[in-house]
Structure formats: structure tokens, C-alpha cells
Amino acid sequence: MTFQGSVLLPSQEAIIQRMHHIASYSDQLLVLSGVSGSGKTTLVTGLTTDFDESNAAFVICPMHADNAEIRRKILVQLISSPIFDDDIPLADTLLRLASTQTKPLHIIIDDAHLLPKSLWAECIILNQIQCAGKNIAVTLTVPPSFLADLLPQLPEQLRRQILPISIEPLSMPEREALYQTLLRYSDENPFTPREIVRSQLEKQTGTPQEVVTLLEKALHHPPEKVSSWKQYKTIIIAAVSVLLALAIWLGVTQPFSKRPALETVTFPAIDSPAFLSFGQQVLAPYFTLRAERLKKAEIEKVLNIAEVKADQVVDPLSQFHGEAPNAEPDAAALTHIGEVSSKSFTENKPVEDSAPPAKITDVQPLTSGAEKVSRRISKAVFDTKKPTKGYTIQIASVTQIDTLRTTLNSIGNVEGVRIARYKQRWVILVGNYSNSKLASNAATQLVKTYHLDQPWVRKWADLKDYRLQESLPSREISE
């Protein structure tokens, strides 16, 4: 790519003006440092053309050059007479010819890091020699790494004779301006969107060489085709990662096993005929033995053998369903047991060595006894005198006559029972105790004996509105 003329950015023009000022008025050795491609050669070239009133010598130091070659290149540009000796140091030659010079001298050496160390010493001494009334100006360009290694090796006095200037990276506006200017000078117009160019410039470090390389790539290199693998690389990697994670999770939570899967067993419904028939077969021996035991206990009671012996009759299978043995089974239970034994279980296969099912007529004496107790309670006369001191136990508070009679039947053997009326309810009271401790002990004994709910120990003084009844009421409380 060929460019017509030189292109200088505002920051580069500022550096050239600064170096021109230092070369004109300072006696220090000017060292311009910058990375490769930062524009060191462009700056010193512009500095050479900027000196109109000075006699300048511009030398690009080649690799492996000896001292005589460098001296010869410098003196040929400064001295019109070819009579000089390139083996003599520059300071001696210029000091001898200084009286014949009419303009100040300016020596510029690019890539000075390739110079031998002896020539560096001669350049430092040249700053102290005057020519045409001004000190000889010397400007050198080096990489930052070479300057950082050179300065610690110099004595303090010589180190003060060196003035380093660093080249700063180009700003984004200057990068874009340089790109567009070079593109215009190239007389070509590649179709590259400005947003893409800007994104590529932002990735650079800010050297002019990078901008030139980017433009050359846009002009002479076709766009790289992105392979389909690169386009879908991220998606494929993500899919494989998900599948791998799912396989690991399944292997941890549900480890693979060669054991066959367990078959699902379905049981019949609870209310199905098959389930009910199976339950009757299992419970038939229990109900048969229970009916036999209860029948034997009732016969012993009817014949007045012994009440104590009747109380000691224990149901050996009462633990089967969690019930406590009851020496006085009620008529309803016996009737139900008789019906089940005589009807339900006889439909199934008979159990070997089992007693014949009990009949309803066998428990008829117990039913008559229960009716007698009920009639005795209904005709009972209760104490209507209400004590003013002491405590009593409230057993129940009901609103129905049937519930009242049922409760009295369940505690028929308890002494000191009173019936009180309070508003629309019947209240059953038991006993008269001098203190609350005696009443609590009695309440605890009632709970153990008759399996009642927790009774309520109350003061007689708190029952002022309760009216004691002389006998069991015969009708409901009217609203």
C-alpha cells in the first residue's frame, strides 16, 4: 500500500514540537522511547524536516554496524568537505570543524539501541560542544526495555545528561482518524461497517502500526469464513454438559441394578365382599370364644354363685382389640354377638373344636336385669337439700332425657347422686366433700371405675342458680 505524503496526528505533532524545543534550548541528550510500531521513526523523520535553521544529520543504525560506519554517515551529512578521519571520535572531529559551521548541528539516530556503547559515550559528550553559538543537539530512539537497562549502568552525572520522552498510546478518536485518513489515501473503499472497525480498534494497544495492519487486512485479505463448528461450539458444549450432568444425577439417585422391578400387588377394597368374608373367617374363633365366656359369666351371676367370682371373669382375648374386660356386658353387645355368631359366621366354613353359637334366649336374664336397674333409677328419689359449704363433683351436663338416663345407668352403684337443673340443661352431681383434695381423689376413682370423662370439682357456693330435683325428670326442658 502506497501513501502520498506523511500523516501526523495531533499527539505526534505535539511530541515533535516538544523535541524541537528541547533540541534548541537544552544541553541534554534527548532519548525517545516507545514500543515497536509506536511511530518513533515517523516522529524523528518529522523532526528532521522541521529544522530549517539547523544542519541536521539523520541516521538509521543498522545491525552489527561498527563505529567507523556510523561516524562516516553522520559526518557526510554535516560537513561539506570530505576530508575527515572516521576512526577519530566524533567529538574530536566536530570540535576541530566547529569554527567553520554557520548553523547549529542536530544529530538524529534511529534504532540507537544497536549502537556500540562507545558511540553512546561520544553522543553524551557531543551535547557539551557548541557550534554556531549553540550546543550540538543529539536525539536517539530506543525501546523502553533498553532504556530501563541502560540508565542504572550510568553514573549519576551522566544520567542527568539524558532526557527520556515516552510515546503514549493513541486515543480512540486518533485511531479512527488515522484509519479513515489512510483509507482515503489508499484510493480504495472496502465494505467494512464502522462499528466493526471500531470494535477491532478498541481491542488494540494504541500503536499506529496496529491501525495500519488492520487497514491492510481489510484491503488485501478476504474475510475469514467462520466454520459451522465454531458457530455451534458453545451450543454443543452446553448440550453435552447438560446430558452428562443428567446422567450423573440419575446414576446417584437411581443407581443401575440388574434386579428385576418389584411387581405391584393390588389388595381388594376394604368394603369389598371378598375382604369382608376374609375378615369374618379370621375373627370367627374370637367371637365364638368370647360369646361362650360371656354366657358362662351370666349364668354364674343369675344363679347367684358369687358376685366376686363374676367380677373376676376375665376375657382372655380382650387384648385382641384393646378393650378392657367387663364383668357386666350390656344387653346390646350380647344381642349383637349372638346375632353375628348365629347368622354371619354360620354362613362360612365351621371352625373345628369350636363351641356352638350362642342364642339370644341365653342372655335373656341379663336383659331383664338391665331393665330392672333402669326402672329402679327412674323411680329413685334424690336429695334436694343443697349444702352451702364443701365441694361436689359434676359428672355430666346434658339437655336430653335419654342421655341423662343413660349416664345414670352407667353410674348406678354410685352413692350421693343428685340431679340439678340449670337453665336448659340437666346436671348430674355426685357426693359432698369437705375439701377439694377429697373431691379430687373421689373424681379420680370415678374415672378409673366407670371410665368417665374428666369430672369437674365444684364448690356448692358456686351452684346458687342450680335447682336440685327430687326425682328423675319425665320430659324434656321446655324452651
Judge whether 89 and 126 are in contact, CB under 8 Å: no
Distance CA 366, CA 372 (A): 10
Q: Tell me if residue 102 falls in helix, strand or coil.
A: coil
Q: Tell me if residue 58 falls in helix, strand or coil.
A: strand
Distance CA 130, CA 23 (A): 13
pLDDT digit of tens for each residue in the chain (479 aa)? 333 346 688 998 999 999 988 888 888 899 999 999 888 998 998 888 866 677 888 999 998 888 889 988 988 888 877 677 888 888 888 888 888 888 888 999 999 999 998 899 888 888 888 888 888 899 999 999 999 999 998 888 888 889 999 999 999 998 888 888 888 887 777 677 788 888 888 888 889 889 888 888 887 765 555 556 666 778 888 888 988 888 888 777 765 555 655 667 676 677 778 778 888 888 888 888 888 888 888 887 777 554 444 444 444 444 444 444 444 444 444 344 344 333 333 344 333 343 343 333 333 343 444 455 455 555 566 777 788 888 998 888 888 888 888 888 887 767 788 888 888 888 888 888 888 888 888 888 888 888 777 788 888 888 888 888 877 776 665 54
Show the domains of the chain with their CATH numbers.
Answer: 10-166 (3.40.50.300), 172-220 (no CATH), 273-375 (no CATH), 380-469 (3.30.70.1070)
Locate 38 and state its grid cell. Answer: 509506536
pLDDT of residue 141: 95
Distance CA 308, CA 305 (A): 9
Looking at residue 435, its amino acid is: N
pLDDT of residue 154: 87
pTM of the predicted model as reported, rounded to 2 decimal places: 0.46
pLDDT of residue 345: 35
Task: Output 208-215 pairs: Cβ under 8 A, ≥24 positions apart.
Answer: 208/9, 208/37, 208/38, 208/39, 208/42, 208/170, 208/178, 209/36, 209/37, 209/38, 209/39, 210/37, 211/170, 211/175, 211/178, 211/179, 211/182, 212/182, 214/179, 215/1, 215/179, 215/182, 215/183, 215/186
Q: Any residues with CB less than 8 A from the CB of 422 and at least 6 apart, and which?
A: 397, 465, 466, 467
> Which position has the grid cell 353375628?
340
Q: Any residues with CB less than 8 A from the CB of 136 and at least 6 apart, and which?
A: 94, 104, 105, 106, 107, 126, 127, 129, 130
Question: Parallel, antiparallel, or unpaired: how do β-strands 29-33 and 137-142 relate?
Answer: parallel
Q: Is the dihedral of CA 244, 247, 252, 258 positive or negative?
A: negative
pLDDT of residue 263: 67
Task: Identify which of 165, 224, 234, 166 has the alpha carbon closest to the alpha carbon of residue 200.
Answer: 224
Judge whether 57 and 106 are in contact, CB under 8 Å: yes
Distance CA 4, CA 209 (A): 17
For residue 12, CA distances in Å to 3, 23, 60, 162, 223 come to 18, 17, 20, 21, 32
Distance CA 328, CA 367 (A): 11
Please tell me the number of Cα atoms within 13 Å of 448 on its side-chain side: 6
